[in-house]
């Protein structure tokens, strides 16, 4: 199975989600899975490279006033749509612009999806997104895509996707 790990930031940016993505991707490389990381390009980093044996594609991003994550959403969505043959499954890390582009691309391409939520309660992905106008819209779209897929409940700690706002 070919897996696209979609994450807004990746090494050398270090945090819990980035570490989990790297550890999981490294293990999948060891098992000969076709895995690659798709992330936003940070200043001074090449568009393509490897981190501990894991292929990494870094996309350009840009900011739109009031929606700073739109650039990565747009560039990752275009990449996913134009490169559908390179993956069977999209694993989005965090309920961010990555999850939104994964949900839209997965729906349009009929690809398998996994969204890994981080944190719980008011400080987790769902809690922080739900407090923002565009975050609420994003969560509504993700919920609709997963609802259409008849997916099981997705949990992260005590965060439950079924409790995401049903409207923005």
Spatial separation of the C-alpha atoms in residues 166 and 1, rounded to whole Å: 33
CB atoms within 10 A of CB 134: 18
Q: What is the per-residue pLDDT for 39?
A: 94
Q: What is the per-residue pLDDT for 114?
A: 86
Q: What is the per-residue pLDDT for 42?
A: 86
Do 41 and 59 touch, CB atoms closer than 8 A? yes
In the sheet with 2-6, reading across from the earlier edge strand, the strands are: 48-51, 54-59, 34-40, 2-6, 89-93, 112-116
Per-residue pLDDT 10s for the chain (168 aa) are: 999 999 988 988 888 888 999 999 999 999 988 999 999 998 889 999 999 999 999 998 776 666 667 778 899 999 999 999 999 999 998 777 888 899 889 989 999 988 876 665 555 555 556 566 666 666 666 666 666 544 434 433 333 333 333 433
Q: What is the per-residue pLDDT for 75?
A: 92
Do 45 and 4 touch, CB atoms closer than 8 A? no
Spatial separation of the C-alpha atoms in residues 110 and 108, rounded to whole Å: 6
Q: What is the per-residue pLDDT for 161?
A: 38
Q: What is the per-residue pLDDT for 118?
A: 66
Q: What is the per-residue pLDDT for 76?
A: 94
């Amino acid at each position: 199975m070919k897996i696209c790990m979609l994450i807004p930031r990746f090494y050398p940016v270090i945090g819990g989600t980035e570490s989990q993505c790297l550890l999981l991707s490294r293990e999948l490389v060891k098992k000969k899975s076709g895995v690659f990381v798709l992330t936003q390009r940070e200043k001074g980093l090449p568009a393509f490279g490897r981190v501990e044996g894991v292929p990494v594609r870094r996309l350009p991003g840009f900011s739109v006033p009031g929606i700073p994550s739109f650039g990565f959403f747009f560039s990752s969505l275009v990449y996913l749509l134009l490169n559908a043959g390179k993956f069977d499954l999209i694993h989005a890390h965090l309920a961010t612009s990555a999850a939104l582009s994964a949900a839209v691309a997965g729906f349009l391409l009929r690809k398998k999806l996994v969204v890994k939520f981080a944190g719980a309660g008011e400080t987790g992905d769902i809690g922080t997104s739900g407090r923002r106008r565009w975050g609420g819209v994003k969560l509504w779209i993700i919920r609709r895509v997963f609802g259409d897929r008849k997916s099981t409940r997705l949990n992260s700690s005590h965060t439950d996707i079924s409790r995401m706002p049903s409207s923005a």
